[in-house]
Amino acid sequence: MKIIGVSASARKNKSTHFLLNECLNEFKRTSEQLGKSVEVELIDLSPLKINGCIACDKCKKGVLCSQEDDFQTLIPKLADPEVLGLIVSTPVYMGCMSSQAKAFLDRTVLFRRNGFMFKNKFGGVIAVGGSRNGGQELTIQAVHAAMMIHDMIIVGDGDHFGGAAWANHPDGYEGDGTGISTAKNLGKRMCEVACMMQI
């Protein structure tokens, strides 16, 4: 099985990426404990050019997209039936997900329009805000909404909604122990559920 993490920050190797890595590492650790072999891939959207959906409806004719941008490179990765789950990590921008996350999610409509290709895949979300309570939970739920529209199975961190972290923690985002725990717990929980459902 394979799990894909998507870092939807405008910035490379910052807090959004860091928290996703923590989550994916925990996923891998848990899978090893459970004796399962899992491939993990992190897709960093920051260097990619992904336009918003233009509603041309080309994807109603097949797993196709008319826009010749970097989303094309992601289509085969996301269409891989080996992929059991998707973890989206996004910064909080103006109380919700980044435009990078929204453009990415909107463009995934082509998988829905071609037989609900994400149906029954596991979905988890991490949101990182500049403030402790800057909209992380609302952001997580907004991404959950897109996942539900794909008929994915949403998994939380075993306590609340998913990973919720504070980038401007006085000790830096690497020092936000509470936030890091939520991201790790999400990875652990995603793996537990994925392994349980596979049996």
Query: Contact, 143 vs 105, CB < 8 A?
Result: yes
Q: Which is nearer to ligand FMN, 91 or 187 (CB)?
A: 91
Complex with ligand FMN: residue 64 or 94, whichever CB lies closer:
94
Residues in the site for ligand FMN, rule: CB under 6 A? 9, 11, 14-16, 91-95, 128-131, 134-135, 167
Distance of CA 84 to the CA centre of its chain: 12
**Nearest approach, Cβ of 176 to ligand FMN (angstroms)?**
10
C-beta of 81 vs 170, nearer to ligand FMN: 170
Would you state the torsion angle of the CA atoms of residues 139, 145, 151, 156, taken in this order, to the nearest 10 degrees? 40
Cβ-based nearer residue to ligand FMN, 9 or 108: 9
Identity of the residue, 9 or 182, whose beta carbon is nearer to ligand FMN in the bound complex: 9
Smallest separation, CB 168 to ligand FMN (Å): 7
Q: Least distance in Å: CB of 154 to ligand FMN? A: 22
Please report how close the Cβ of residue 94 comes to ligand FMN at its closest, in angstroms: 5
Closest to ligand FMN by CB, 16 or 108: 16
**CB-based burial of residue 45 (10 Å sphere; 0-12 exposed, 13-18 middle, 19+ buried)?**
buried
* Residue 183, CB-side half-sphere exposure with 13 Å CA sphere: 30
CB of 134 to ligand FMN, least distance (A): 2
Q: How far is the CB of 2 from ligand FMN (least distance, A)?
A: 24
Q: Residue with CB nearest ligand FMN?
A: 134
**How many CA atoms does the CB half-sphere of 79 hold within 13 Å?**
16
Task: Please tell me the distance from the alpha carbon of residue 63 to that of residue 135, in angstroms, as a whole number.
Answer: 34
Amino acid at 97: M
What stretches of 44-135 show up as alpha helix (H) in DSSP?
Answer: 71-79, 99-107, 109-112
Tokens for 84, please give them. 């059991």
